[in-house]
Amino acid sequence: MEIFMIIAPIAAILALGYALIAAYGVKKAPEGTDKMKEIAASIRKGASAYLKRQYKTVGVFFAAVFVVLLVLAFVPGLELVSKFTPFAFLTGGIFSGLAGFVGMNIAVTANSRTAFAAEKSLNSGLKVAFKAGSVMGFTVVGLGLLDFSIWYFLTKYAFGLEYAALTNAMVTFGIGASSMALFARVGGGIFTKAADVGADLVGKVEAGIPEDDPRNPAVIADNVGDNVGDVAGMGADLYESYVGSLLSSVALGYAAMSEYFAAEPDKAVWGLLIPVAIAVIGVVASLIGTFFVKTGENLSSKSLLAALRKGTYIASILAAVASVAFILLVNIDWWFLAVAMVAGLLGGVLIGYFTEYYTSDNSKPTKNLAGSTETGSATTIISGLSLGMVSTVIPVVIVSAVVIASYLICGQGTMGFFGIGVAAVGMLSTLGITLATDAYGPIADNAGGIAEMSGMPEYVRERTDALDSLGNTTAATGKGFAIGSAALTALALLSSFINLVDTTSIDLSIMNPQVLIGAFIGCMLPFLFSALTMSSVGKSAQSIVVEVRRQFKEIPGLMEGTGKPDYHSCVDLCTKASLKQMVLPSVITILAPIVVGLILGVPGVTGMLFGAIASGFMLAVMMSNAGGAWDNAKKYIEKGAHGGKGSDCHKAAVVGDTVGDPFKDTSGPAINILIKLLSIVAIVFAGVIEAFPSLF
């Protein structure tokens, strides 16, 4: 049976090979005019400078944590973490950062090529943008399976670990990926929204110039932000989700199958093989689905959405059928695991569908939100908040149904938690194509900006606007999918934590004050985290507003188009501000489980993790959907509804969109990393938490 584990590195090579071919295809496309090349080079330079400085900052953190983990692993008398954890911490961070780096580089390569291809046809523009997005998607799953494979074969064959020790050690490896994802999401999110808000407030609201007008000094920073936040940050984020779900699932799977095959312990390895097989099948299904993404010349969002849906739905159906067939062929009595896998995959599709319903400008909620602009900015903000809050109902019902189906049908206990892990892997199995549709959005957004700034014909801008509008919806759908998968992954990680610690003499009921206090702290953490990140966007945006106003005032002929703005100063301001502001939320996230554990013990940490998952899931959905709906309500008005561009309704919609920017692109997406990182830190430092007596 062990020989079947070779499918993981084979699938990793297949995914990375496809990403390489797709990247080559993107680079073969013509880049456009000299002006387009110049603008794209500025964006590329700014994005690279940001990432270089971010990696230096994060490198200091990784070095410090690496030393701490070395001490806890190797100092005689301590040995509170696995000896492999310090090194796996580094590889997880490196692979997570590499996933974001590759995605960002292909995105800044594809933006001008997408705009130039859109001059030929809408389908040509869609193909270039989606192909670039698929590089991001398949790089993430390829690197995730590669990292998993390296450590599996290394710990199993080079160091001879037994499966129980191996799986418990591997689940701690996600801390590196989670830490890097948090820095990438928070730092990138602060950068992109500070630039976006600053550019909008002075450019569109005060100066009355178009969104991507080259006269706006913050316009390049805005385009850079799309790449460092929505591509590099998102890539690191979903890499961490993918690896986290796989690691927690194999740990739970081996524990569950050890109980199931108590008389035949050699067969417990199926607990590892089943999640890996589902992930591998998902890679192949996603690859097939990419060939079905194409469209005609209809500019409607409905037509473009149908093109992307076709690919993702085909991939999901193929993954479901093949995974169910595999599980039943191995053991027909394991039909309950097949149900859990399908429940997770279907849950992901449904969350994406309903997220699209609440955020697409083809749907009633967003059209009603656009209508609220008739009575001003205040009603626009109130309506958007209301929309975001009500949109939490269906995702909560879906995730609850997935948990019930996977836990109860799989027999409760350890096998029930394994079912939740299988559902999480199932939901993320088609990540290759799901992430491709998400990463496509920032590329299309950049393409529209380049088309505007380079003075391309109006019909090209109409096509890039259509692609951009679709990108807003796919980005919101991707965030909903990421948040839903994070909730399932975090639940699986929570169960891994409980399985890892000795709970024989511990009361984990809600009537235990330690659990109750921990739950209150956990519920509070996503709100504190969101407050810090939103405040960071506000502070950073203020510096951009001041700088843009200064340039409009001091640079002769800037408004007339004869003067040249200083783009670099805005990029530099965003870089410095975002890297400075990302530190506090990140440190709080990492220290919280350790501090709570030392004060309240294992019961307090358990309550904290549960509270953070519950409140974080709903808050993240609310913020993501409200922000996406505000953005598309603005775009709906710009198409001509309610007076169109420049009207009072449009100005109110811009204010709503400005409020929604940090909701959907900074705080909301980062919460899903928060709830997973809390769990992984608790798992890694479980030995520390148990070794030191709590104050209770």
What is the distance between the alpha carbons of residues 553 and 546, in angstroms, rounded to a whole number? 11
Q: Stretch 607-616: mean pLDDT, rounded?
A: 94
Of 352, 480, 435, 481, give the one whose Cα is nearest residue 138.
Answer: 435
Question: How far is residue 31 from each of residues 244, 518, 615, measured CA to CA in Å?
Answer: 38, 54, 45
Return the exposure string of 311-350: e unless at least 16 CB atoms fall within 10 Å of the residue's CB, then b: bbbbbbebbbebbbebbeebeeebebbbbbbbbbbbbbbb
Q: Quote the pTM value.
A: 0.87
Half-sphere exposure of 548 (CA within 13 A, CB side): 35
Beta-carbon contacts of residue 481 (< 8 Å; ≥ 6 apart): 348, 351, 352, 355, 427, 434, 438
- 283 close to 242: Cβ distance less than 8 angstroms: no
The whole-chain average pLDDT of the chain stands at 85
Alpha helices, DSSP H, located in 360-409: 364-371, 377-390, 393-409
The residue ranges of every structural domain in the chain are: 2-691
List, for residues 52-80, the tens digit of each pLDDT value. Answer: 888 888 888 889 989 988 988 888 877 77
What is the distance between the alpha carbons of residues 189 and 186, in angstroms, rounded to a whole number? 5
More confident residue, 599 or 195: 599
pLDDT of residue 442: 83
**Which amino acid belongs to residue 511?**
M
Counts of helices then strands in the chain (DSSP H, E): 23, 0
pLDDT of residue 83: 85
List, for residues 437-455, the tens digit of each pLDDT value. Answer: 877 778 888 888 888 888 8
pLDDT of residue 297: 58
Least confidently predicted of 4-13, 295-304, 648-657: 295-304
Question: How far is residue 469 from each of residues 266, 448, 666, measured CA to CA in Å?
Answer: 53, 10, 19
What is the distance between the alpha carbons of residues 616 and 614, in angstroms, rounded to a whole number? 6
Cα 306 to chain center, whole Å?
23
Q: Is the pLDDT of residue 229 over 80?
A: no
What is the DSSP code string of 409-450?
HTTSHHHHHHHHHHHHHHHHTTHHHHHHHHHHHHHHHHHHHH
Q: If residue 460 lies in a helix (H) or strand (E), which one and from where to where?
A: helix 458-500
Given the structure tokens 């701490």, which residue do they identify? Answer: 68
**Which amino acid belongs to residue 299?**
L
Q: Is the pLDDT of residue 18 over 90?
A: yes
What is the distance between the alpha carbons of residues 114 and 119, in angstroms, rounded to a whole number? 9
Per-residue confidence band for 224, with pLDDT thresholds at 50, 70 and 90: confident
What is the DSSP code string of 225-282?
HHHIIIIIIHHHHHHHHHHHHHHHHHHHHHHHHHHHTTT-GGGGGHHHHHHHHHHHHH
pLDDT of residue 298: 57
pLDDT of residue 340: 92
Given the structure tokens 């050699």, which residue do they identify? Answer: 266
What is the distance between the alpha carbons of residues 121 and 115, in angstroms, rounded to a whole number? 10
Alpha helices, DSSP H, located in 261-363: 270-290, 301-330, 335-359
